[in-house]
Amino acid sequence: MDFVSLLGSLIAIVMLALAAWKMFPATEPLSPERIRRNIARYSPEIEAKALDTMDILLSNDKKSAICLFADHPEWVAITKALGDRVVVRFYQDRNSLSIEDHGDAVIIGQSDFTFPRFTVMIAEETKKKLLKLKPVSET
């Protein structure tokens, strides 16, 4: 493959991705129903009652959420909109998650190469709730 065909391929890729962006905009926000449905899909072993009663801490942009389970205080699930799809991670040990306070936002991290740490803007009240989960590393 020469430089010209490499450049041509790159241009074609960008053009097609732009066409996809224009024709198929990903606009659907995360809703509690959508979050529950996806956690049930990823972790079907979680009983329905736990899903119904979980506390959903939704980010301001409604693109990510942290879910706490009332009957299982050690459990935690994170959901994140990835384009028009939803990705979930569920932990039975809350310590698997790191939560850093960054003023208006928090950074959610985990030891998972397939799910890099991400920043969420959340309401002050939600943030307080979230930061109670773990000792906070102030930055």
Binding site residues, another protein, CB under 8 A:
1, 6, 9-10, 12-14, 16-21, 23-24, 26, 34, 36-38, 40-42, 44-45, 47-48, 51-52, 80, 82-87, 89, 112-116
Q: Nearer to another protein by C-beta: 12 or 136?
A: 12
- To the nearest whole angstrom, how small is the minimum distance from the Cβ of residue 39 to another protein? 10
- To the nearest whole angstrom, how small is the minimum distance from the Cβ of residue 76 to another protein? 15
User: How many residues comprise the chain?
Assistant: 139
Largest CA distance in the chain: 60
Cα separation values, 9 from 4, 47, 63, 86, 113, Å = 9, 48, 32, 29, 29
Q: Nearer to another protein by C-beta: 16 or 123?
A: 16
DSSP H helical ranges for the chain: 3-23, 32-42, 48-53, 124-131
What's the CA angle centered on 120, arms 24 and 32, to 5 degrees? 65
Q: Nearer to another protein by C-beta: 44 or 135?
A: 44
- To the nearest whole angstrom, how small is the minimum distance from the Cβ of residue 74 to another protein? 16
Q: Nearer to another protein by C-beta: 53 or 137?
A: 53
- To the nearest whole angstrom, how small is the minimum distance from the Cβ of residue 125 to another protein? 26
- To the nearest whole angstrom, how small is the minimum distance from the Cβ of residue 124 to another protein? 26
Cα separation values, 113 from 11, 15, 16, 121, Å = 29, 29, 28, 22
Residue 88 CA to residue 95 CA, distance in Å, equals 17
Q: Nearer to another protein by C-beta: 80 or 127?
A: 80
